[in-house]
């Protein structure tokens, strides 16, 4: 029996570790022996169950819940997946036993040998050759154990890692996320000299000041005489102009076994680090024996920068910045929380291309490689401790049994990540109420690292203007922007306001994002926030047996869509009785990393170059960055005209410092035809950037130069109007006649926010149509109809008039007061099969809606019909295009139909009726219709973010009363 089991650490909150080496920031990756790969594996029902002689295998790193075991993933948001109260855990407690032989290199004789387990959920017990080594909790930080006295270099050793899934620690890891079990980050074995660096702390200031503090230990006991530390800073500037002042190095013995050394330097002409200019230097720290030979080495990539709060402003290098952030989990649709370096780089590259500059590591320290990438590519990081006790937050925040766990988790995060310039703020955790345990952790951080502020939403939410809690930043969740603005204008604001979560990205969402940022950028005291969140956490699932596809599932998804026979699983799809459904699918990218349309919205909101106005001297261009000029960018002009033409010209960006504006001449002569005209500045990278090759589009700011003239109702000879006995238009290109539509397949915001429930109660999903009258007058047909819900009647009028080449349809709908705030008011019809290409003049080319349209420039767009639909994990309203002036639907032989609208309208063209989408829980249940389902909306409700946060604002709601619209249908 594992002797560590006698301690029963899964039910002992006072035990956070045993035999574990203190966390540090020394780099040990060079020369390490990777133990990743297949391990012998058994999954036991409880920690007390005996280990048998029958082994299977499991790949490390990886969660056993995704590797064909009977313990499958579970998803809960707030609720724990078991009923026991803290610190208890359930009696049915899956326990994974991992075992393998390790050949310890013979050349490691006489060296200190350390095992590093990158992450294990949730309790890790380590044995070597049957002898106990240690215990660790905290599922998202590495645990290291000294094996020197337990292994023999040149001989094999049997390493056993026992991982207990549920424990008292699970109550501190109650994140809105899948529950897994296993070893989810890499396992390493490395060796050092007995005399070694125990820790390295780097403080590099924006003025070039550098201080390096080193702690030294000797595994043999007392430190030898004569040891010393040296450092080297790479880079031509420093090599020529400065070096470490060894004469001033301090060697302060504090005990016989721990030594400290400090090195200082000033780097003249230092290149400072920011998210816009991520300048890094290579620092090498060497520990020497008395004879000068090197005993230990640690390498770091460091950045010189300052972070401070002055009044109510967060400053980097003395400049007020905007936080354009996203919350990010470690996630992959096949391997769960196990992510590769390439996966993480792809995440950050995509974020950089779409204008993000900040990451909150929700809600735990992320994989260490992420911070290296953030340093290199340029991101501000809020590093968050692995603390969320959502279901039992109030009890745990002040529970003295959890005091050590709080301080341990926060302090170990700080000790690991303190040398990363990207980390500008420490977070004490998430959704864990506020208590003495938070204050204790904050006190430790403020003493150990006074160079960074601390944030914690649970403390700051009690009073945004407080000055005596554990948060230096007011960081609310989903606060209405009106409340944020009111606070900033109240005169009571004492600290920066940066929302740790806002604009919930569940399904078709993120409405009013542009409005939110317009308020932030115009209100001193507001500095941004973090969208929730990066990923849709769908797990690729085989439909046939309902199990995860596993590591072999690569290639079974593309562009956000799972391959036939597979689907994206969410809560409840693995048989969980306690779950929170599709709330796990709330990201700005699909599970395979494909961008959602909202990313284009964000890209324009965060644009480094703006077109602010059109004046007689030309277009006014603004540099909207904080630290960088425009010399890294190229651009070209586009002029989109409503007559179908698009003109282009090269653009020369002015030399502007951050915040500066300049007028540039319009490179086009506006045609005299009086049509609508829009100018777009397509901005791209001039040279290769670490996150994108030369020519990568950065933004596309746009201005309207001329509005469309007022539409004229033309008459002429056209096809005769034919209606059937029900007063419905008969047309050879239509299989379902145009009728009134007030219903949309509810978005996640509609469902969770309660709007869909209200609409169903009104009967909007099943309106009953009754013809009141049909009248023909000189070829013009007028149809009066009533659409009855359960509480009201909508009067609908359609007037069909022959015009040259087609039919003009004039419509009105009178909504009763009972129908305040419906989903849409408009027309729906269906076409014959074969019309597979949509071309339009309006906003695009990607999906857009009334309150999420800033990222879709007006122009001429062409997209295959099958590509218009957006495959949100739970089928819902999607694929709309805002501000459409006219469109055509055509077959390959150029036949089809053309529609011209009276004014810019919301239009959607897909293969699905609203009822098809409403009835389906997953996309594998959808059957495309052969023709096109076309919606032309006089008004369409905004999207908002009501699944978690504010609904859309008043201008994007649909009031009762009379709505009018008209459109013209012609055959191509």
Please spell the DSSP secondary structure of 742-794, one letter per residue.
---PPPHHHHHHTHHHHHHHHTGGGPEEEEEEEEEETTEEEEEEEEE-SS-EE
User: Given pLDDT bands bounded at 50, 70 and 90, which one contains residue 222?
Assistant: confident
The pLDDT tens digits for 521-578 are 999 999 999 999 999 999 999 999 999 999 989 899 999 999 999 999 999 999 999 9
Is the pLDDT at 236 greater than 50? The verdict is no
Q: How far apart are CA 296 and CA 286, in angstroms?
A: 6
Q: Which residues pair with 898 in a beta bridge?
A: 888, 970
Q: How far apart are CA 349 and CA 413, in angstroms?
A: 24
Q: Which residues pair with 680 in a beta bridge?
A: 638, 702
CA angle 258, 264, 267 (to 5 degrees): 150
Q: What is the pLDDT of residue 435?
A: 98
CB 891 within 8 A of CB 733: no
CA distances from 854 to 144, 575, 612, 837, 885 (A): 49, 41, 14, 24, 17
Is the pLDDT at 243 greater than 80? The verdict is no
Q: What is the pLDDT of residue 256?
A: 46
What average pLDDT does the structure give for the chain?
95
The rounded Cα 299 to chain-centroid distance in angstroms is 31
Element (H, E) at 926: none
**Residue count of the chain:** 972
Phi/psi region, residue 654 (left: phi>0; alpha: psi -120 to 50; beta: rest), is beta
Cis peptide before 61 (omega within 30 of 0): yes
Is the pLDDT at 249 greater than 80? The verdict is no
Q: How far apart are CA 773 and CA 778, in angstroms?
A: 17
| Residue 767 backbone dihedrals phi, psi, to 5 degrees | -65, 140
The pLDDT tens digits for 262-301 are 999 999 999 999 999 999 999 999 999 999 999 999 999 9
Q: What is the pLDDT of residue 184?
A: 98
Tokens at 684, concatenated:
């791209």
Cα–Cα nearest to 432, from 383, 390, 462: 390
CB 144 within 8 A of CB 186: no
Q: How far apart are CA 170 and CA 137, in angstroms?
A: 10
User: Given pLDDT bands bounded at 50, 70 and 90, which one contains residue 239?
Assistant: very low
For 122-194, list the strands marked E by DSSP.
123-128, 131-137, 143-146, 156-164, 177-179, 182-192
The pLDDT tens digits for 84-137 are 999 999 999 999 999 999 999 999 999 999 999 999 999 999 999 999 999 999
Query: Does the annotation count 501 as an active-site position?
Result: yes
Tokens at 786, concatenated:
């009533």
Is the pLDDT at 2 greater than 60? The verdict is yes
Is the pLDDT at 616 greater than 90? The verdict is no
Q: How far apart are CA 489 and CA 405, in angstroms?
A: 39
Q: How far apart are CA 787 and CA 552, in angstroms?
A: 52
Is the pLDDT at 859 greater than 80? The verdict is yes
Q: How far apart are CA 36 and CA 58, in angstroms?
A: 10
Is the pLDDT at 238 greater than 80? The verdict is no
Q: What is the pLDDT of residue 715?
A: 64
CB 165 within 8 A of CB 95: yes
Q: How far apart are CA 599 and CA 593, in angstroms?
A: 12
Collapse the DSSP code of 615 into the 3-class scheme (helix H, G, I; strand E, B; otherwise coil) and give the result: strand
CB 865 within 8 A of CB 843: no
Q: How far apart are CA 812 and CA 180, in angstroms?
A: 54
Is the pLDDT at 166 greater than 60? The verdict is yes
Give me the torsion for CA of 392, 395, 396, 397, rounded to 10°: 120
Start-to-end CA span in the chain (Å): 80
Is the pLDDT at 341 greater than 80? The verdict is yes
Catalytic residue among 121, 173, 501, 847: 501
The pLDDT tens digits for 624-670 are 999 999 999 999 999 999 999 999 999 999 999 999 999 999 999 88
Rg over CA atoms, the chain: 31
DSSP collapsed to 3 states, 304-344: ECCEEEECCEEEECCEECCEEEEECCCCECCCECCCCHHHH
Name the more confident of 589 and 708. 589
The pLDDT tens digits for 704-754 are 999 988 777 666 677 889 999 999 999 999 999 999 999 999 999 999 999
- Bridge pairing between strands 228-233 and 143-146: unpaired
Q: Which residues pair with 889 in a beta bridge?
A: 838, 897
For 804-870, list the strands marked E by DSSP.
806-815, 824-831, 837-843, 858-864
| Residue 122 backbone dihedrals phi, psi, to 5 degrees | -120, -15
Beta-carbon contacts of residue 205 (< 8 Å; ≥ 6 apart): 304, 305, 306
Catalytic residue among 121, 384, 388, 431: 431
| Residue 876 backbone dihedrals phi, psi, to 5 degrees | -165, 180
CA distances from 232 to 243, 287, 376, 633 (A): 7, 12, 20, 34
């Amino acid at each position: 029996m594992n002797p560590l089991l006698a301690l029963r650490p899964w039910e002992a909150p006072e035990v956070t570790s045993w035999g574990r080496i203190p966390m540090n920031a020394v780099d040990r990756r060079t020369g390490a022996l990777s133990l990743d790969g297949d391990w012998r594996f058994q999954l036991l029902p409880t920690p007390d169950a005996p280990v048998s002689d029958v082994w299977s295998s499991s790949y490390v790193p990886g969660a056993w819940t995704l590797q064909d075991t009977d313990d499958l993933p579970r998803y809960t948001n707030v609720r724990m997946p078991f009923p026991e109260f803290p610190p208890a855990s359930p009696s049915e407690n899956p326990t994974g036993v991992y075992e393998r032989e390790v050949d310890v290199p013979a050349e490691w004789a006489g060296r200190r040998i350390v095992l590093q387990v990158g992450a294990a959920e949730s309790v890790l017990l380590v044995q070597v050759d049957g002898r106990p080594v240690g215990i660790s909790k905290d599922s998202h930080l590495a645990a290291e154990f000294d094996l020197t006295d337990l292994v023999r270099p040149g001989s094999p050793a049997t390493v056993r890692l026992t991982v207990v899934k549920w424990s008292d620690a699970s109550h501190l890891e109650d994140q809105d996320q899948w529950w897994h079990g296993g070893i989810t980050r890499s396992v390493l074995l490395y060796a050092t000299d007995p005399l070694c660096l125990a820790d390295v702390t780097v403080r590099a200031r924006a003025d070039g000041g550098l201080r390096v503090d080193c702690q030294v230990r000797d595994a043999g006991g007392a430190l030898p005489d004569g040891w010393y530390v040296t450092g080297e800073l790479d880079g031509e500037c420093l090599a020529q102009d400065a070096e470490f002042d060894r004469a001033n190095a301090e060697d302060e013995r504090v005990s016989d076994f721990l030594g400290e050394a400090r090195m200082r330097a000033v780097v003249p002409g230092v290149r400072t680090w920011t998210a816009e200019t991520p300048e890094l230097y290579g620092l090498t720290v060497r520990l020497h024996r008395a004879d000068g030979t090197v005993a230990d080495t640690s390498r770091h990539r460091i950045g010189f920068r300052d972070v401070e709060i002055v009044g109510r402003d967060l400053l980097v290098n003395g400049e007020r910045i905007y936080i354009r952030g996203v919350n990010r989990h470690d996630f992959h649709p096949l391997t769960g929380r196990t992510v590769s370096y390439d996966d993480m780089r792809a995440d950050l590259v995509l974020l950089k291309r779409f204008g993000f500059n900040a990451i909150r590591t929700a809600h735990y320290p992320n994989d260490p490689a992420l911070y290296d990438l953030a340093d290199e590519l340029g991101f501000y990081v809020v590093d968050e401790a692995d603390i969320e006790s959502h279901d039992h937050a109030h009890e745990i925040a002040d529970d003295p049994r959890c005091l050590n766990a709080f301080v341990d988790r926060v302090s170990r995060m700080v000790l690991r990540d303190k040398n990363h310039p990207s980390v500008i703020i420490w977070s004490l955790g998430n959704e864990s109420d506020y208590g003495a345990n938070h204050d204790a952790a904050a006190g430790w951080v403020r003493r150990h690292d006074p160079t960074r502020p601390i944030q914690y939403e649970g403390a700051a939410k009690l009073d945004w203007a407080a000055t005596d809690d554990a948060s230096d930043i007011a960081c609310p969740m989903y606060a209405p922007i009106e409340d944020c603005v009111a606070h900033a204008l109240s005169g009571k604001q004492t600290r920066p306001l940066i929302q740790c979560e806002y604009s919930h990205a569940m399904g078709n969402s993120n409405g009013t994002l542009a409005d939110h940022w317009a308020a932030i950028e115009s209100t001193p005291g507001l500095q941004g926030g973090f969208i929730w969140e990066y990923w849709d956490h769908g797990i690729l699932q085989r439909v046939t047996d309902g199990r995860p596809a596993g590591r072999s599932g690569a290639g079974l998804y593309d562009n956000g869509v799972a391959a036939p026979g597979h689907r994206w699983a969410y809560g409840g799809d693995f048989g969980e009785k306690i779950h929170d459904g599709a709330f796990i699918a709330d990201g700005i990218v699909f599970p395979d990393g494909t961008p959602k349309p909202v990313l284009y919205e964000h890209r324009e909101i965060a644009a480094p170059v703006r077109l602010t106005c059109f004046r007689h001297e030309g277009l006014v261009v603004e540099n909207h960055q904080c630290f960088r000029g425009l010399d890294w960018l190229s651009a070209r002009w586009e002029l989109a005209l409503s007559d179908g033409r698009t003109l282009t010209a090269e653009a020369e960006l002015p030399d502007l410092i951050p915040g500066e504006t300049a007028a540039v001449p319009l490179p086009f002569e506006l045609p005299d035809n009086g049509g609508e005209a829009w100018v777009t500045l397509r901005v791209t990278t001039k040279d290769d950037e670490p996150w994108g090759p030369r020519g990568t589009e950065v933004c596309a700011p746009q201005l309207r130069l001329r509005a469309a003239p007022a539409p004229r109702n033309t008459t002429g000879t056209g096809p005769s109007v034919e209606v059937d006995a029900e007063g419905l238009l008969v047309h050879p290109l239509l299989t379902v006649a145009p009728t009134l539509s007030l219903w949309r397949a509810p978005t996640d915001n509609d469902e969770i926010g309660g709007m869909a429930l209200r609409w169903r109660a009104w009967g909007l999903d099943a309106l009953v149509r009754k013809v009141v009258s049909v009248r023909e007058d000189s070829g013009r047909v007028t149809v009066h109809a009533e659409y009855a819900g359960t509480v009201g009647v909508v009067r609908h009028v359609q007037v069909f008039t022959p015009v040259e080449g087609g039919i003009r349809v004039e419509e009105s709908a009178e909504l009763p007061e009972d129908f305040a705030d419906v989903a849409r008011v408009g027309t729906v019809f269906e076409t014959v099969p074969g019309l597979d290409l949509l071309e339009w003049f309006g906003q695009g080319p990607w999906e857009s809606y009334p309150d999420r349209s800033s990222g879709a420039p007006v122009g001429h767009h062409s997209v295959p019909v099958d590509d218009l639909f957006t495959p949100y994990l739970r089928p819902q309203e999607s694929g709309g295009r805002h501000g459409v002036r006219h469109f055509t639907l055509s077959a390959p032989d150029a036949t089809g139909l053309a529609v011209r609208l009276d004014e810019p309208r919301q239009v959607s063209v897909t293969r699905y009726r609203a009822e098809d989408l409403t009835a389906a829980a997953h996309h594998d249940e959808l059957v495309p219709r052969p023709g096109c389902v076309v919606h032309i909306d006089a008004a369409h409700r905004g999207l908002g973010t009501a699944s978690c946060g504010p609904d859309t604002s008043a201008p994007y709601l649909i009031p009762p009363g009379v709505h009018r619209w008209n459109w013209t249908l012609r055959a191509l």
